[in-house]
Copies of this chain bind each other. A is one copy, B any other.
Amino acid sequence: MMIKGVFAWDGEHWLFDPEDRFGFRATWKVNRVLAKADSDFQEVAVIETEGFGKALVLDGVVQTTEKDGFIYNEMITHIPLAAHPKPADVCIIGGGDGGAAREALKYPVQSVDMVEIDPKVVEFSRRYLPEVAGDGEPDPRLRFVYEDGTRFVKKRAQAYDVIVVDSSDPVGPAAVLFEKPFYQDAKQVLKEGGILVCQSESPIFHPDVLKRVHHTLGELFPVVRTYLAAIPTYPGGVWSFTLASLGPDPLQSDGHRLVMNENRYVNRDIWESCFRLPQYVKELLD
């Protein structure tokens, strides 16, 4: 069974990152393809890699792996949830692998709505990637909504304390999640003092995306903070997230609300350091 991006080479199979705008591609040795399907939106696959364990791959692009998925999933959820004084209702747009939902449910929230456009991503992640998605009983606070995130946010108002935009890259089905109309609608869905966070790509490989997201959110929200994490499987290793808030400013908090429950990346030190940016990122955002 072959999937997009995998090439045979010297009797081995390697998945090549399609990122070639900069003539730089990461490659993973693939032991086997565990599952593959063409959904209405993309090619969805779960593979077993030599070094990173199992991985979810969409249209040939690695989304999350057993070995380092925790970094992304902890960073995109713990930071906004701990920044909010009392996050009761949470919405995750995308995040079909279930990792962000798992982290969000560590907080004393009332509900987590997971709005994923592609049911196949959720199905495969739950069946083949319990290491990321979790394998316990489904948490009664978690609700799955299979819908386009941009449509979902048009139909509600002031429903959530925190919205996590856990999207893939701004190509294909996720592109609209990086545009102003979506952010405007998402803002209306936030309750008073609500917080939105999104992954805003690599400051090295996609500085234009980060700059645009930061700027656009700055037109809509009084508080906008970009933070970074080092994620080995994403191109360039360093990844950005941008938090936009209608009220609380994470820089005014000492992170005492962070839940430490089997965290492997996020702790108080990460809270204190992740908003502190290298000079080249500061200059990019100024």
- Beyond A28-B24, A50-B22, is A266–B237 a contact (Cβ under 8 Å)? no
- A238 interface residue, CB < 8 Å from B? yes
- A12 CB to nearest chain B CB (Å): 9
- A26 interface residue, CB < 8 Å from B? yes
In residues 228-249 of chain A, which contact B (Cβ within 8 Å)? 228, 230-232, 234-238
Give the chain B neighbours of A16 by CB distance below 8 A: 27
* Stretch in A112-120, A215-223, A268-276 with 4+ CB within 8 Å of B: A268-276
A269 CB contact (under 8 Å) in B23, B29, B205, B276: B276
Give the chain B neighbours of A252 by CB distance below 8 A: none
- A277 interface residue, CB < 8 Å from B? yes
Indicate with 1 or 0, residue by residue over A247-286, a CB within 8 angstroms of chain B CB atoms.
0000000000000000111110110111011111011000
- A52 interface residue, CB < 8 Å from B? yes
| Complex: A202 Cα to B50 Cα, angstroms | 18
- Beyond A23-B29, A29-B20, is A265–B280 a contact (Cβ under 8 Å)? yes
- A49 interface residue, CB < 8 Å from B? yes
A279 CB contact (under 8 Å) in B27, B67, B265: B265
Integer count of this chain's copies in the complex = 2
- A141 interface residue, CB < 8 Å from B? no
Give the chain B neighbours of A20 by CB distance below 8 A: 29
Indicate with 1 or 0, residue by residue over A53-84, a CB within 8 angstroms of chain B CB atoms.
00000000000000110010000000000000
A278 CB contact (under 8 Å) in B23, B267, B282: B267
Indicate with 1 or 0, residue by residue over A1-42, a CB within 8 angstroms of chain B CB atoms.
000000000000010100011111111110000000000000
- A51 interface residue, CB < 8 Å from B? yes
Contact A51–B24 (Cβ < 8 Å): yes
Give the chain B neighbours of A234 by CB distance below 8 A: 237
Write the chain B residue with the least CB distance to A31. B23
Give the chain B neighbours of A266 by CB distance below 8 A: 278-279
Write the chain B residue with the least CB distance to A30. B23
| Complex: A23 Cα to B26 Cα, angstroms | 11
- A204 interface residue, CB < 8 Å from B? yes
A24 CB contact (under 8 Å) in B29, B204, B238: B29
Indicate with 1 or 0, residue by residue over A100-118, a CB within 8 angstroms of chain B CB atoms.
0000000000000000000
- A174 CB to nearest chain B CB (Å): 22
- Beyond A230-B230, A265-B280, is A204–B68 a contact (Cβ under 8 Å)? yes
Can you list 15 A-B contacts (CB < 8 A)? A20-B29, A24-B49, A24-B51, A25-B27, A205-B232, A231-B237, A232-B238, A234-B237, A237-B238, A263-B279, A264-B280, A265-B280, A266-B278, A267-B278, A269-B282
Report the 6 A-B pairs with minimum CB-CB distance, sorted nearest first.
Answer: A237-B237, A23-B50, A22-B51, A23-B29, A273-B273, A230-B238
